[in-house]
């Protein structure tokens, strides 16, 4: 399985797609100014955690610090996540048309965020295999505190034939029904990178071991605007979850 990438030019904010032959996720990069603004807002969140509602009961993460974020975060992130969603939908329809020899490619859907939250992850904490509720979901990396090389050479994993420390992995079935994993080798260069994928795509975040600082990411779900008229796009009720275990 391949991925589509699009890079947001820091001066013009234009999107440049680089499409391979099968779509798994879309990747974009925040401008340096937007990333700095988010980092400043995250710093306030870390210093005043009691002012941010806890999100743990809605999420699959096995971690202590997960909080709902207010609309001011979405004001920065949504232009990127909605652009990525439009790009994903366009390429998904393009693939479908090529397979079916049809011509239905369009890029017209409008999106709304349903929930946005922050993951403040300590070493040994993790996200088990899960998916999300919505049409598309995203992860935006704010802080990566470790060296990927040191993680993969750490004592618990250096001699393994499946080194997974700190990795983000998609899980899917191939055309033969075989369960496959597609790892993303997240390191410091991913700070400011947003990935977007189908909400029903199963994925896992493995623990890291070599840093006492936090790995910080912001996640959220999007739905089509027409669906939002029938749903409340704000924080879910206590009986709702933003994830499932499949």
| Contact between 1 and 182 (Cβ < 8 Å) | yes
- What is the pLDDT at residue 99? 64
- What is the pLDDT at residue 239? 44
- What is the pLDDT at residue 104? 63
Each residue's pLDDT tens digit in the chain (246 positions)? 445 555 554 443 333 333 345 678 899 999 999 999 999 999 999 999 999 999 999 999 999 999 999 999 999 999 999 999 988 888 877 776 666 666 665 655 688 999 999 999 999 999 999 999 999 999 999 999 999 999 999 999 999 999 999 999 999 887 788 888 889 999 999 999 999 999 999 999 999 999 999 999 999 999 988 665 555 545 554 444 555 444
Quick one: tokens of 156?
């618990």
Give the residue carrying structure tokens 């909400």. 199
Query: How far, in Å, CA of 29 to CA of 34, rounded?
Result: 10
Query: How far, in Å, CA of 108 to CA of 114, rounded?
Result: 19
Q: What ranges do the domains of the chain cover?
A: 4-144+191-229
Q: How many CB atoms lie within 10 A of CB 204?
A: 18
- What is the pLDDT at residue 227? 62
Query: How far, in Å, CA of 21 to CA of 173, rounded?
Result: 17
Contacts of 62 (CB under 8 A, 6+ apart): 125, 126, 127, 128
CATH architecture assigned to 4-144+191-229: Sandwich (2.60)
- What is the pLDDT at residue 231? 53
- Please name which of 152, 135, 125 lies closest in space to residue 220, comparing C-alpha atoms: 135
């Amino acid at each position: 399985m391949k991925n589509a990438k699009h890079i947001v030019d820091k001066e013009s904010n234009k999107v440049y797609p680089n499409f391979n032959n099968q779509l798994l996720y879309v990747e974009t990069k925040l401008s340096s100014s937007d990333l700095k603004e988010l980092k400043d807002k995250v710093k306030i969140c870390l210093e005043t955690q009691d002012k941010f509602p806890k999100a743990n009961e809605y999420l699959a993460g096995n971690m202590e610090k997960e909080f709902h974020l207010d609309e001011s975060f979405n004001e920065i992130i949504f232009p990127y996540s909605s652009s990525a969603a439009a790009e994903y939908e366009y390429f998904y329809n393009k693939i479908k048309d090529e397979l079916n020899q049809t011509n239905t490619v369009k890029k017209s859907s409008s999106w709304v965020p349903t929930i946005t939250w922050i993951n403040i992850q300590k070493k040994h904490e993790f996200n088990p295999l899960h998916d999300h509720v919505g049409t598309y979901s995203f992860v935006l990396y704010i802080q990566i505190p470790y060296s990927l090389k040191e993680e993969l050479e750490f004592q618990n994993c250096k001699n393994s034939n499946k080194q997974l420390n700190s990795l983000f992995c998609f899980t899917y079935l191939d055309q033969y029904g075989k369960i496959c994993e597609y790892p993303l080798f997240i390191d410091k260069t991913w700070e400011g990178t947003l990935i977007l994928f189908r909400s029903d795509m199963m994925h896992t975040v493995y623990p890291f071991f070599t840093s006492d600082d936090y790995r910080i990411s912001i996640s959220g779900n999007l739905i089509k605007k027409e669906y939002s008229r029938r749903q409340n796009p704000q924080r879910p009720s206590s009986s709702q979850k933003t994830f499932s275990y499949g």
